[in-house]
Amino acid sequence: MKRTTLDLWVGFFVAIGLAALLFLALKVGNLTQGNHGETYALQARFGNIGGLKVRAPIKSAGVVVGRVRDIRFDQESYLAVVTLDVDATYKFPRDTFATINTSGLLGEQYVGFEAGGDDAVLKAGDTIKKTQDAMVLEKLISQFMYNKASEDSSK
Amino acid sequence: MLDAVLGSLTRLGNRVTSRVQRLGKASLFLSAILLGSGTAWRRFSLIMRELYYTGVLSLIIILVSGLFVGMVLGLQGYDTLQRYGSSSALGVLVALSLVRELGPVVAALLFASRAGSAITAEIGLMRATEQLSAMEMMAVDPVARVVAPRFWAGVISMPLLASLFSAVGIFGGYLIGVVLIGVDEGSFWSQMQASVDFRIDIVNGVIKSFVFGVIVSWIAVFEGFHAAPSAEGVSAATTRTVVTSALAILAADFVLTAFMFTGA
């Protein structure tokens, strides 16, 4: 085979190989919307985080505004300390309410922000005061059973 | 009685030491390849020629099987997911299983049987027809001239082929899932993009395919170079290349997966 034909084929091969990699990176892995942007860290304490995982999204009004960076257990207060990376373009009031929600019935868990009315905004390193734990199905069921039982006995 | 026990123990020991010896020989051979790679990289046309034979000629089989694997994933994945009412997660299923596991592994298995066997047979036949000895007589190092270019061509081709396999497979899943069955196109892509992480999934997949490329090329050139110089020798070496490569790929895949995808 002639040298130039061979070079052409190899060039074609390498080009479509790299194109496939680019397709995987951009279209499948969505590299463009990665965490290039500036973020600031907030902390929140929860009594129970349920199935929350590192890199879970933080959503406010359904829009992703950040990601969970780290989850630790605090030995003194026996609470879970969750470090949140919030996109620097979004500012939240000091009395923002952090909840742990589930998307759909069996979906992944995420941190939800409900903005309060305070004029001062949260800065890097601040701790969110108002939090709500993850909903645990067993607790809900036992509460329901307990209420049902007390209703029946009062009749 | 005692003789029989001792005899079988001796055979077992003999088998183990010969395996370990072969492994040591293969490691020495690999270091010889790495040391002798200078010529191949300086005269890049040597690698270029092998890239054509290992990479370009493997394109068709990789593309066609990637398409079919993706289409099967689309069909089977839809069948299972729709029972749980989450058929919109089809894109995630197809993309993650291809990028993390099936892409690198199946592409490497196909590569071993398409290109690895050809390399072994070619070098083995050079050995059998004493072309390698003739080169040594002319003071040309056969490891640097014949083996190293084939080794590096395999190492370069493998990640490209695995990426192509994954990309075509995802397209196949898209064809079946979205075009044929009618899963919502928006959720197919957006859920995929939300769940596939560039660093964790795609980069690790490429690292896997690179490691498989080293393994397959190494086994192929080693078996070819050390083939018994006869027709039976070459055929036995070719078979060994495919079998050993397949086992080594699957074992290495388990180890790599255990390192890469646990805990995250």
Residues A113, A85 share a domain: yes
Task: Evaluate if residue B184 carries a pLDDT over 90.
Answer: no
Is position A155 within any domain?
no
Residues A90, A47 share a domain: yes
Question: What gap in Å lies between CA A113 and CA A85, rounded to an integer?
Answer: 13
User: Which of A3, A17, A29 is nearest residue B198 as measured by Cβ atoms?
Assistant: A29
Task: Evaluate if residue A35 carries a pLDDT over 60.
Answer: no
Exposure of A117 by Cβ count < 10 A (0-12 exposed, 13-18 middle, 19+ buried)? exposed
Contacts of A35 (CB under 8 A, 6+ apart): A67, A85
| pLDDT computed for residue B263 by the predictor | 54
Residue type, B213: G
Question: What gap in Å lies between CA B50 and CA B239, rounded to an integer?
Answer: 21
B115 reaches A (C-beta below 8 A):
no
User: Which of A12, A25, A33 is nearest residue B202 as measured by Cβ atoms?
Assistant: A25
Is position A146 within any domain?
no
| pLDDT computed for residue B45 by the predictor | 86
Task: Evaluate if residue B156 carries a pLDDT over 80.
Answer: yes
Task: Evaluate if residue B219 carries a pLDDT over 80.
Answer: yes
Percent of chain B having pLDDT more than 70?
99
For the segment B227-236, the average pLDDT, to the nearest whole number, is 92
Contacts of B82 (CB under 8 A, 6+ apart): none
- For A79, list phi and psi in degrees, rounded to 5: -120, 160
Question: What gap in Å lies between CA A102 and CA A52, rounded to an integer?
Answer: 9
Q: Each residue of B99-123: pLDDT tens digit? A: 999 999 999 999 999 999 999 999 9
Helices (DSSP H) in chain B: which residue ranges? 2-35, 37-42, 44-54, 59-81, 90-96, 103-111, 117-128, 131-137, 142, 148-174, 185-195, 204-225, 231-260
Is position A149 within any domain?
no
Under the banding of pLDDT at 50, 70 and 90, the label for residue A53 is confident
Residue type, A33: Q
Q: How far is B82 from chain A (nearest CA, A)?
A: 14
Looking from the CA of B14 toward its CB, the CA atoms found within 13 Å total 6
Q: Each residue of A41-50: pLDDT tens digit? A: 899 998 888 8
Percent of chain B having pLDDT more than 90?
72
Under the banding of pLDDT at 50, 70 and 90, the label for residue A129 is confident
Size of interface A-B (CB pairs under 8 A): 79
Residue of B nearest to A104 (CA): B86
For the segment B215-238, the average pLDDT, to the nearest whole number, is 93
A15 reaches B (C-beta below 8 A):
no
Residues A41, A27 share a domain: no
Under the banding of pLDDT at 50, 70 and 90, the label for residue A36 is low
For the segment B40-52, the average pLDDT, to the nearest whole number, is 88
- For A75, list phi and psi in degrees, rounded to 5: -65, -25
A33 reaches B (C-beta below 8 A):
yes
Task: Evaluate if residue A155 carries a pLDDT over 80.
Answer: no
User: Which of A9, A16, A28 is nearest residue B170 as measured by Cβ atoms?
Assistant: A28
For the segment A55-77, the average pLDDT, to the nearest whole number, is 87
pTM of the model: 0.77
Q: Which domain holds residue A135?
A: 36-141
Task: Evaluate if residue A110 carries a pLDDT over 70.
Answer: yes
Domain count along chain A: 2
For the segment B241-261, the average pLDDT, to the nearest whole number, is 93
More confident residue, B122 or A132: B122
Task: Evaluate if residue B217 carries a pLDDT over 90.
Answer: yes
Residue of B nearest to A28 (CA): B193
Tokens of A154: 């009062």
Under the banding of pLDDT at 50, 70 and 90, the label for residue B20 is very high
Is position A148 within any domain?
no
Q: Kindly list the domain boundaries of chain B, sorted by start residue.
A: 32-257
| pLDDT computed for residue A33 by the predictor | 54
Tokens of B68: 């079919």
| pLDDT computed for residue B199 by the predictor | 81
Phi/psi zone of residue A83: left (φ > 0), alpha (ψ -120 to 50 degrees), beta?
Answer: beta
Angle between helices B148-174 and B44-54 (to 10 degrees): 40
Residues A102, A80 share a domain: yes
Is position A5 within any domain?
yes
Residues A13, A57 share a domain: no
Tokens of A12: 């074609």
Residues A51, A113 share a domain: yes
Residues A119, A66 share a domain: yes
| pLDDT computed for residue B26 by the predictor | 93
* ipTM of the complex as predicted: 0.81
For the segment B241-256, the average pLDDT, to the nearest whole number, is 94
Task: Evaluate if residue B96 carries a pLDDT over 80.
Answer: yes
Under the banding of pLDDT at 50, 70 and 90, the label for residue A32 is low
